Structure 1
Amino acid sequence: MTRTVIVGPGVAAVQTALELRHRGYAGDITLISEDMEEPYDRPPLSKEFLKGSVGRDTLGLLPAQTASERAITMRLGSQVSDLRTSEQQVVLSDGSSASYDYLVLATGAHNRPLPVPGADLPGVWSLRGLDEAEGLRSALAERA
């Protein structure tokens, strides 16, 4: 049986896994994410989520039940520390590994810190994940 490992928590990673199943792929699918939360949609974080028009519960891309129904294994809270392409293995920071026949890297982007004085002062926010969005939304609500 073939094994596909998908590294990443976002739309591209989830859609790859779901599309493989939709097209009849019968091999093992493992989705690896350093996030502790089930995969969620990030673009609404800076828009609807901050405005409060959508909640945390509406952002999900791949609930555990759907992953289970589609035989997609999710390894949440797992950070990739090494790719051993010659051995077809993804090594995780906890020392475990995942072997693959096919590997998809769909990690998305990370924020780049601003190299300017004051970028680390209180009130300067970086927004990529749900925790940052919740913190910013709380800070904005306190000022309203």
Structure 2
Amino acid sequence: MLIHGGGVGGWMWDKQVQYFSDYHCVVPELINDDADFSIEDCANKLLTIIEEKAENKRVIVVGFSLGAQIAIQMVSLKPRLIDSAIINSALVTPSPVAEKWIRPLIKLTFPLIKNKSFAKFQAKTLYKILGLTSTLF
């Protein structure tokens, strides 16, 4: 399961899904613009999907940014359901300021979910900062 970050959508994983075509990749869309969002509710919904689809297969969850926070919540709720997790750019120390602004910021960045150019820019920037190269982007 590949869980996208805030301000982007499942499409940010398109190249990875192509690369891992021998695997069953599940790429959920996290946010509905008219629904309230919570990491715990989202984690529970994604765990239900895994329970329905995994059929005793090995489960790997990859989360980026907001998706990484959700992945951490998923592992904490049902650690035996997930075999491995890759967590990238998760804020794991609660911040009162971040808590106050997360909901409004998610709503403001919602239009970016449909913008593939933003995801490509974000991915390229991240790889430059880390000094990495990748054929996946």
TM-score (norm 2): 0.30
Q: Which has the higher helix share?
A: 2
Q: Which has the higher strand share?
A: 1
Between structure 1 and structure 2, the one with the greater Rg is 1
TM-score (norm 1): 0.29
